[in-house]
Amino acid sequence: MHSITVGVIVGNRGGFPAHLCADARATMLRVLQQENINVITLDPQETHFGAVETLDDAIKCGDLFKRHATEIDGIIVTLPNFGDEKAIANAIRFSGLKVPILVHAFPDDMSKLSFTERRDSFCGKISVCNNLEQYNLPFTLTHMHTVNPESESFCEDLRHFAAVCRIVKGMRQVRIGVLGARPAAFNTVRFSEKILEHIGVSVETLDLSEAFGQANRLSDDDPAVVAKRQAIVEYAETSHVPSSVLNRMARFGVVMDRWVAENKLNATAVQCWTALEEYFGVFPCPLMSMLSNQMLPSACETDANGALSMYVLQLASGQPAMLLDWNNNYAEEPDKAVVFHCSNLPACVMEQRPWMSCHPGLAERLGEENAYGQLYGKIKAAPFTFLRISTDDLNGSIAAYVGEGEFTQQTLDTYGTYGVVHISDLQDLLHFICKNRFEHHFAATQARVADAVHEALTTYLGWDVYYHTA
């Protein structure tokens, strides 16, 4: 997982025990180092104990952060004592940074409440937050109002905050590639390019005819095609797949890889149904699966918002995400459902190495040789976070829902890649999805990061996000 860099502000206030700042600063820096978080902060030689108390301190801190603006992903405010709320807010304002802010306060020791030892950061944190709100600076809170930085609770706060920082930073300049036109039968995945552009998400398009043309110009013995074919057969079980199919798939894969690299795409959405099968003779699922497995999420059926949902979850968890259908009920159990895709799911989420085969329906209609590329497998049991982002064209805004559940051990006799999920109050979630015009697709990652996703998208991006909790 990528480390982040934070600017640390140690708060101090005249009339309170300033000597507490020295040990507090050292403790905080040590904990951040243990969590693989890089730090930019004032030195004790620059201000009293390296803390921020006065206007001059705030200017020095703001200038320091400004010089490192391209490096800083977030700001941590830590209060060893009450702290000067105005100086802290000014330091952030002077920096010009628009990054997530975590406000932390040290707890008092009940045996050290004398004038020279008490912290009063319990109260100071409230004042700091009040000023940040006045300065229009959104912020994140620790789970406990005051917390020991060396506790597991604070380490969890740091991991949550790091995920928030990765999402906010990653969403500043997103580039999604859409390969092919929306399949005619999938009105569901319509989206607004203009709304996405307004929030910093650019959409680059490539027509399937151009991709077919480029692929047909490549020879099967082209070194790039040979290397791609080798990567495919190492990725999935393909011993039974005709050589001609693997060559076609490899040629198309080279085109996709070059397009992604040349356009610096963060994610892709592909017209995977059914022009590729009818006119080029392959399912692109393995190519999409391989991209997602390489942290370049790829979504089905030109679902650009699905690709964006995958990308956000990837930023939060630091691991690949998948796109799934809400597909079937699971017997008579209302909090379980079957989720499915043909499948472009990354191999890392499956129990075993995926097996490549034909789509049974298209094989009957087009012939087996034109219908290879489906990946078969079962999603391994694990907790997961789900997310769906949608452009609300009628209101000119972004809407989303997020929550958590578990992939279970249950197995089914089916095709493609599937999983059985358990989500508390699933029926309420499904009612919400239907009533609010959400799509049949959702993204998932095998980690519990719903809190961080919700915090990033609401507090810092200002989106309307429904958080599904039991």
Residue 24 belongs to domain with CATH number: 3.40.50.10940
Mean pLDDT of 24-45: 97
- What are the CA-CA distances from residue 257 to residues 69, 235, 273, 323, 372 (Å)? 32, 16, 20, 20, 20
Encode pLDDT of 164-195 as tens digits: 999 999 999 999 999 999 999 999 999 999 99
Alpha-helical (H) ranges within 191-284 are 193-198, 208-216, 223-235, 243-262, 275-279
Q: First vs last Cα of the chain: how many Å apart?
A: 29
Whether pLDDT at 115 is above 90: no
Are 31 and 106 contacting, i.e. CB atoms less than 8 angstroms apart? no
Do 267 and 413 fall within a single domain?
Answer: yes
Do 47 and 194 fall within a single domain?
Answer: no
Do 126 and 220 fall within a single domain?
Answer: no
Q: Which helix (H) or strand (E) holds 312?
A: helix 304-317
Structure confidence at residue 353 (pLDDT): 97
> Whose CA is closest to 437, among 191, 134, 125, 182?
191
**Segment among 86-95, 108-117, 153-162, 390-399 with least mean pLDDT:** 108-117
Do 23 and 10 fall within a single domain?
Answer: yes
Last residue of a domain, one of 148, 170, 192: 170
Q: In this structure, what DSSP letter does residue 456 have?
A: I
Do 81 and 149 fall within a single domain?
Answer: yes
| Vertex 383 angle, CA 378 and 388, to 5° | 85
Long-range contacts of 13-16 (CB under 8 A, 24+ apart): 13/53, 13/81, 13/82, 13/83, 13/84, 13/124, 14/53, 14/84, 16/81, 16/82, 16/119, 16/120
Task: Domain count for the chain, please give it.
Answer: 2
Last residue of a domain, one of 139, 170, 201: 170
Encode pLDDT of 250-283 as tens digits: 999 999 999 999 999 999 999 998 999 999 999 9
Do 325 and 438 fall within a single domain?
Answer: yes
Instruction: Assign 15 a pLDDT band (cuts: 50, 70, 90).
Output: confident
At a CB cut-off of 8 Å and minimum separation 6, what does 320 contact? Answer: 292, 293, 295, 297, 314, 346, 348, 349, 445
Encode pLDDT of 275-308 as tens digits: 999 999 999 999 999 999 999 999 999 999 999 9
Whether pLDDT at 217 is above 80: yes
Do 217 and 86 fall within a single domain?
Answer: no
Do 264 and 163 fall within a single domain?
Answer: no
Structure confidence at residue 294 (pLDDT): 98
Do 214 and 155 fall within a single domain?
Answer: no
Q: Which two tokens stand for residue 33?
A: 């180092």
CATH of the domain at 282: 3.40.275.10
Do 334 and 446 fall within a single domain?
Answer: yes
Do 301 and 244 fall within a single domain?
Answer: yes
Mean pLDDT of 394-401: 95
At a CB cut-off of 8 Å and minimum separation 6, what does 299 contact? Answer: 267, 268, 269, 270, 288, 306, 307, 310, 323, 344, 441, 443
Structure confidence at residue 82 (pLDDT): 96
Mean pLDDT of 413-438: 97
In the block, which residue shows the tokens 């300033």? Answer: 18
Distance of CA 202 to the CA centre of its chain: 17
Last residue of a domain, one of 129, 147, 170: 170
Give SS3 for 450.
Answer: helix
Instruction: Assign 363 a pLDDT band (cuts: 50, 70, 90).
Output: very high
d(C-alpha 419, C-alpha 406), whole Å: 10
Name residue 353's beta-bridge partners: none
The identity of residue 354, as a single letter, is P
Do 202 and 133 fall within a single domain?
Answer: no
Are 100 and 168 contacting, i.e. CB atoms less than 8 angstroms apart? yes
Mean pLDDT of 47-51: 96
| Vertex 144 angle, CA 138 and 148, to 5° | 110
Instruction: Assign 469 a pLDDT band (cuts: 50, 70, 90).
Output: very high
- Domain interval for residue 48: 5-170
The identity of residue 222, as a single letter, is D
Structure confidence at residue 1 (pLDDT): 54
